[in-house]
Structure 1
Amino acid sequence: MAALEVHDVSFTYATAEHPAVSDISFDVEAGQLCALIGPNGAGKTTVCNIIRGFIPRFHTGEMTGRVVVQGEDAADSDLGLLGLTIGFVFQNPFVQISGAKDTVFDEVAFGLENLGVEVGEIRRRVEETLTLINIQHLRDKNPVELSGGQKQRVAFASTLAMDPPIFVIDEPTSQLDPQGTEEIFRIISMLKERGKTIILVEHKMELVAEYADTVVVLDRGRVVMTGTTSEVLSSPELAAHNVAYPQYASAGLALRGAGLPIPQIPVTKEQALAVFGRARAAQEGVVA
C-alpha cells in the first residue's frame, strides 16, 4: 500500500502568473525512500510544502488535485494532526529552531509538550532521540548558538521525537560540510532501518544513488521521469533535464559511448566495481 499518493496536483502562487507545479503525480510505498531531484526552480520545495499541507494553508494560491496520506485525503486533515503523520525537516535549520527554548533538550521536547504528552514519556523519548542522533553533548546548549550542522541535527531530533511514520526532508545537506553531510545521512539511514517512509530533496547524486529506492525527476514544474534509482540515474534522458549523473553512471555512459561492452550502467561504487570488473574481464578475454 502506498503511504503517499499525489494525484494530478497543480499549484499557482497567488502572486504568480504561471503554475509552480503542473499535473504532478507519483506514489511512495510505505518504508521507501523517494528522492525528488531536478534543477533549481523545478518545483521540488513546492511539492514538499504541498505534501506537508503548508500549501495552500500558509502559501496561498490556486491548487487542484489530491494528496492522499496513508489512505486519507490530506485536504480533510487538520494541519496539526497531519503533522503527527508527516514530519518536515526544512532546508534551512534556522527556520526550524523555535527560539522559544534555552536548551537543546527543551527544544526537542517542545513538540511533544504541545501535544500534551505525559512528562515522563517526554523525557524518555527526548533522551532516546538525543542518543540516536548523537547529540547528547549538546543537551544543555542554547539552540540558537549552535553551528548550522548542529542546528540541522537538532531539527532532525525535534522531528524524530514526534515519531511520525513519514518524513519530508528538503535539502538537508545544502549548508553542511562533508562531515556534517555524512552525519545527516547516517540519521536518514537509521530512519530507513526503522521503516520510515521518506521523501527527500537532495542535489548530491552520489547520496541519492546510495540511499534512494525510487526517484522522481521534476523539471519546470512537471514530473518528467520516475522509476527505480538505478533506472532513472543511469538513463541517457536524465541529462536533458539539467540533472547531474552520479560519477559512476557518468563513467559507465562514457565507456559505453567509447564502445566498451557495459551491459549495465552503475550508479553506486559497489555496482561500478562489479560492472567494470566484468567488462574488463570480457575485454581481456577478447584480446587473449
Structure 2
Amino acid sequence: MACIELKNVSYQYPLSKEKALDDVNYKFEKGRFYGIIGENGGGKTTLCNLIRGLIPQFYKGKLTGTVKILGKELREWDPAELSSKIGYVFQNPFTQISGIKETVFEEIAMGMENMGVTKEQIIDQVVTICQLLKIEDLIEKNPNELSGGQRQRVAFASIIAMNTDILVIDEPTSQLDPQGTQDIFEIIRMLKKEGKTIFLVEHKINLIAEYCDEVVVMEGGKIVFGGTARGILSNRDLENHGAMIPEAAVLGHQLKEQGIELDSIPITTEEAVRLIKQRIGEEYGNRI
C-alpha cells in the first residue's frame, strides 16, 4: 500500500530559474525505511519539504503534478492535520528549537500540548523519550543554551513525542559524534519495528546500507535510481551520479576486478566478512 505517491511532480522555488524537483515519479510504501541520498543540491531536502507538506503551503513557488499523501491530494490537506500525521526533523537543529520554551521538558512537550494530550500522558511520554535518547540530564536546561549536538537530540525527541506514523528525518546526525550517531540509528530502527514509515536523508552511506529497506538517489532534482538497498548500493554507477557506495561494496568490486569474485557484492561490513570467509572456505576445500 502506497502511503505517498508522486506523479510527474516538478517544483520551482520562488525567484529560482531552475527546478528543484523535475518530473519526479515514485511510490513510497507504508512501513518501509527509505534512505534518500545524492549530490548536494540534488533535491533531497526539497523532496522532504514536499512530503512534509511545507511545499507549497510554506515555501510557495510553482508545484505541478500530483502528490498524494495517505490517499489524499496534498493540496486538500489542512496543514495542522498533516503535521499530526507526519513528523519532520529538520536538517538544522538550531531552526527546529522553538525559542519560546525555557526548559527542554517544555520544548519536547509542546507538540503534545497542542494536540490536547493529558498532562499525565505528557509527563510519561517526555520522561520515556528523554531516557531513550539519553538526555535526562538536559530536562531542566534551557534549550536555547544547548550545544548543536544536544539541540539535535532534543529536536529529535520533540518529533518522536508526537508519535506520528510517518517520519521525515533530514540529516539527524550532522552534529553528533560516532556514539551519538549509532544511538540515533538504533532508535530509528526501533521506530521502524513499530511500523513507522521513515524517510531519512543521510550522508553516512554505511549506515544507510545497514538500516534502510530502500534507497532513492537524487541528482538534478530527479530520482535517478530507486529500489532495494542491496540493488542500489551495490551499483558502482552511483559514483557517476554524485552518490557514494558503501565501503563493503567498494571492496567487493575491487576483489572482483582482481579475479576474486564473491557470491554477491556486499553492502555491509558484516556481509563482506561472511562472504570473504565463505570464499576462503571454498578455495581451501578445492585445494584439498
TM-score relative to the length of structure 1: 0.95
Deviations 1:164-184 (A, max 9, x none): 000000011122221221222
Answer yes or no: is the 8 Å Cα contact 1:3–1:28 preserved in 2: yes
Residue in structure 1 matched with residue 248 of structure 2 by the alignment: 248
Aligned to 1:195: 195
CA RMSD, 1 decimal? 1.4
- The aligned amino acid for 1:234 is S
Q: Equivalent residue of 1:35, what SS?
A: strand
The number of residues matched between the two structures is 288
What is the rounded CA distance, in whole Å, between the counterparts of 1:241 and 1:131 in structure 2? 40
Deviation track 1:179-232 (CA, whole Å, cap 9, x = no partner) reads: 221222122122112221100001111000010000011111111111100110
- 1:180 is aligned to 180
Q: Does 1:148 align with 2:148?
A: yes
Residue 262 (structure 2) pairs with residue 266 (structure 1): no
Q: How many angstroms apart in 1 are the aligned matches of 2:247 and 2:119?
A: 49
- After TM superposition, the score normalised by the length of structure 2 is 0.95
**Structure 2 residue 62 is the aligned partner of structure 1 residue 65:** no
Aligned position for 1:224:
224
SS of residue paired to 2:236: coil
Q: Match of 2:224, SS? A: strand
Give structure 2 stretches of 5+ with no counterpart. none
1:150 to partner: Cα distance: 1.4
In the alignment, which residue of structure 1 is the partner of 2:169? 169
Cα distance in 2 for residues equivalent to 1:117 and 1:285? 64
Unaligned runs of 5+ in 1: none
1:113 Cα deviation after fit: 1.6
Counterpart mapping for 1:1-288 below 5 A? 1-288=1-288
CA distance in 2, matches of 1:28, 1:134: 31
Structure 1 residues 73, 43: closer, same or farther in 2, change over 3 A? Answer: same
Note the C-alpha offset of 1:283: 3.1
8 Å CA contact 1:74–1:82 kept in 2: the answer is no
CA contact (8 A) 2:45 2:170 kept: yes
**Aligned residue identity for 1:119:** K
Find the aligned partners of 1:111 and 1:276 in 2 and give their Cα distance: 49
Residue type of the alignment partner of 1:92: N
SS of residue paired to 2:167: strand
Task: List per-residue Cα deviations over 1:263-284 (Å, max 9, x = no partner).
Answer: 2000012211221122222333
